[in-house]
Homo-oligomer: A and B are copies of this chain.
Amino acid sequence: MYLAGGTIARSGDVMPAKVAINGYGTIGKRVADAVRRQDDMHLVGVAKMKPNYEARMAVERGYALYATAGDALPKFEKAGLKVHGTLEDLLKEADLVVDCTPEESGYKPTYEKAGVKAIWQGGEDHALTNFSFNAAVNYGDALGVPWVRVPSCNTTGLIRTLYPLDVHFGVEKALAVMVRRATDPPDSKKGPINAIEPELEMPSHHGPDVQSVLPTLNLHTIALKVPTTIMHVHAIAVELKQEVSAGDVIGVWRRTPRVTFVRGADGVTSTAQIMEIARDLSRSRADLYEIAVWQDGVHVVGKTLYYFQAVHQEADVVPENVDAIRAMLKLEKDGRRSIEKTDKSLGIGG
Contacts and interface: CB of A to CB of B under 8 A. Distances in A.
A226 interface: yes
Interface string A242-283: 000000000000000000001110111111110111011110
B264 A195 contact: no
A228 B196 contact: yes
A7 to B, nearest CB: 32
A268 B195 CA distance: 11
A273 B182 CA distance: 16
Contacts of A271: 188, 195-197
Contact of A53 (B50, B198, B230, B266): B266
A165 interface: no
Interface in A261-315: 262-264, 266-273, 275-277, 279-282, 284-286, 294, 296-297, 299, 301, 304, 306, 308, 310
B200 A297 contact: yes
A222 interface: yes
B179 A269 contact: no
Contacts of A284: 282
Nearest to A52: B267
Interface string A186-197: 111111111111
Given A33-B282, A185-B276, A202-B297, 14 more contacts: A50-B267, A53-B263, A53-B266, A54-B280, A177-B177, A188-B197, A188-B270, A192-B272, A194-B227, A194-B230, A196-B228, A196-B271, A200-B264, A220-B306
18 contacts: A53-B266, A53-B280, A175-B237, A177-B177, A177-B235, A181-B196, A185-B194, A187-B272, A188-B197, A189-B190, A192-B228, A193-B193, A193-B228, A194-B272, A196-B310, A200-B308, A229-B272, A282-B285
